[in-house]
């Protein structure tokens, strides 16, 4: 028999706030976290906007530790500390051999790589920091969290671009469901707002180049022209239901469905018909043991690129048929920007709170309807509405498609 998997702790560092409460309050209010880039001088670059976090890591972690971590790991550690405190799980009330860590990042320690490369050009390769490799590698967020917790179960990193942290949550759910572990700290982290990465996405024509934050990340709007780079971390504690109940943990929601496919089509562009995004949603519904009419809300991948939003609309219609027009489907990337490898985890936190509190977030800054994106995208104002089942979609370069079903826990 499959074991039930619940969320018992959550932590977040986002452009809308550096803890879950502040972040969720901003989501409910429809706050836009996008603004002019402050990380570097943009006077000679096309892209002027991003969704940056506003945080002083020294308020959360020892400065000596921060110096030995890339910023993607720093953000993960801050979010993980919140999630662990929220959950209350530790080696004192759980078997450390039955607890694991699975944290994703799309790009990892790119800031450290560039900094140390520049140093090597100036001073020679033998002067590179001895911490360069362990700071740069993508699995180090998981490694650091495992060291922090003392958890000895599987600790690894899923790397599937913008689908990564959704994959991490889904794989963590499977580990617990099938009895390999009792609890997993999982999610994703990203900190890559810098000239090289912004320049790479700019050359691909993937980023919005407006200087108006209110018309930058506008998913499903006819005038959308690209995504806005974001940064942050989302970490969740998933736990087997009976294990959580035995230690008296509070329960936010249940992770009940996971569907994953690959377009096998193109390195960056989604498959035009949305067939395999649809299949991921269908598999998630089947895994959760529910039908299309049971879903109340979809947190869309909704990046604000012309191809993604059109393709996701087609995929939703193919999956939900006549029920598609009854669904509420919003993109909170209109507020957070696109957090790349952290997006799926942050959006799963949104879904967990949506089902717990009965609130559906808006797609903000929506003005011009697109006839090819004609579903109910909850324009500009969120809704108080009961949500029994929510779905979160995440799609990544390479054709990676992930759909999660988050259920109300009663």
pLDDT for res 28: 98
As a whole-number percent, the residues of the chain with pLDDT over 90 amount to 99
Q: Is 32 a catalytic residue?
A: no
pLDDT (tens digit, 9 = 90+) per residue, 100-130?
999 999 999 999 999 999 999 999 999 999 9
376 CB contacts (<8 Å, ≥6 apart)? 325, 326, 327, 328, 329
Identify whether 266 is a catalytic site residue: no
Look at residue 101 and give its three-state secondary structure. Answer: strand
183 C-beta neighbours (distance < 10 Å), count: 31
CA distance 111 to 117: 10
Tokens 């509405």 belong to residue: 385
Q: Is a pLDDT exceeding 80 seen at residue 338?
A: yes
Over residues 198-235, the pLDDT tens digits come to: 999 999 999 999 999 999 999 999 999 999 999 999 99
The CATH architecture annotation of domain 257-407 reads 3-Layer(aba) Sandwich (3.40)
> Does residue 192 register a pLDDT over 80?
yes
The sign of the torsion formed by the CA atoms of 229, 399, 138, 202 equals negative
Report the distance separating Cα 297 and Cα 406, nearest Å: 10
Give the model's confidence band at 410: pLDDT under 50 very low, under 70 low, under 90 confident, else very high: confident
pLDDT class of 2 with cuts at 50, 70, 90: confident
CB 337 within 8 A of CB 50: yes
Query: What's the confidence (pLDDT) of residue 94?
Result: 98
For residue 172, count other CB atoms closer than 10 A to its CB: 29
- Which CATH code is given to the segment(s) 5-246? 3.40.47.10
Among candidate residues 99, 186, 208, 338, the one labeled active-site is 338
Cα 104 from chain centre: 9
Q: Tokens standing for 148?
A: 């922090």
At 65 the three-state DSSP class reads: helix
Is 338 among the residues known to form the active site?
yes
Return residue ranges of the chain for CATH 3.40.47.10.
5-246, 257-407
DSSP letter for each residue of 121-165 = HHH-GGGS-TTHHHHHSTTHHHHHHHHHHT--S-EE----GGGHH
Longest dimension (CA), the chain: 64
Residue in 243, 301, 400, 408 annotated catalytic? 301
């Amino acid at each position: 028999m499959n074991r039930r998997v619940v969320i018992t702790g959550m932590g977040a560092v986002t452009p809308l706030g550096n803890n879950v409460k502040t972040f969720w309050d901003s989501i409910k209010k429809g706050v836009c976290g996008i603004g002019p880039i402050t990380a570097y001088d943009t006077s000679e670059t096309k892209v002027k906007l991003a969704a940056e976090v506003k945080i002083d890591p020294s308020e959360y972690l020892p400065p000596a530790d921060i110096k030995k971590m890339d910023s993607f790991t720093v953000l993960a550690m801050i979010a993980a500390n919140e999630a662990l405190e929220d959950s209350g799980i530790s080696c004192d009330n759980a078997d450390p051999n039955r607890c694991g860590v699975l944290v994703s990042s799309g790009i990892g320690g790119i800031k450290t790589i560039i900094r140390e490369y520049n140093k090597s050009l100036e001073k020679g390769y033998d002067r590179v920091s001895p911490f360069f490799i362990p700071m740069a590698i993508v699995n180090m967020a998981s490694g650091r969290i495992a060291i922090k917790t003392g958890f000895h179960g599987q600790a690894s990193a899923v790397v599937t671009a913008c689908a990564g942290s959704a994959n991490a949550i889904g794989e963590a759910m499977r580990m617990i469901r099938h009895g390999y572990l009792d609890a997993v700290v999982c999610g994703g982290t990203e900190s890559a707002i810098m000239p090289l990465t912004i320049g790479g996405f700019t050359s691909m024509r993937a980023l919005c180049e407006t200087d108006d934050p209110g018309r930058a990340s506008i998913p499903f709007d006819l005038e959308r022209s690209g995504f806005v780079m974001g940064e942050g971390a989302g970490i969740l504690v998933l736990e087997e239901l009976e294990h959580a109940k035995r230690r008296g943990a509070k329960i936010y929601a249940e992770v009940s469905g996971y569907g994953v496919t690959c377009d096998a089509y193109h390195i960056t562009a989604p498959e035009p018909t949305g067939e395999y995004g649809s299949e991921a949603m269908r598999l998630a519904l089947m895994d959760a043991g529910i039908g299309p009419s049971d879903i109340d809300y979809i947190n869309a991948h909704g990046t604000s690129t012309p191809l993604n939003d059109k393709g996701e609309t087609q995929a939703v219609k193919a999956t939900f048929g006549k029920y598609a027009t009854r669904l509420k489907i919003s993109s909170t990337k209109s507020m957070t920007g696109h957090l790349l490898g952290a997006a799926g985890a942050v959006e799963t936190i949104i879904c967990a709170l949506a089902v717990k509190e009965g609130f559906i977030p808006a797609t903000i800054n929506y003005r011009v309807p697109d006839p090819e994106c004609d579903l109910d995208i909850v324009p500009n104002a969120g809704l108080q509405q009961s949500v029994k089942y929510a779905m979160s979609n995440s799609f990544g370069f390479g054709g990676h498609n992930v759909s999660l079903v988050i259920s109300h826990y009663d």
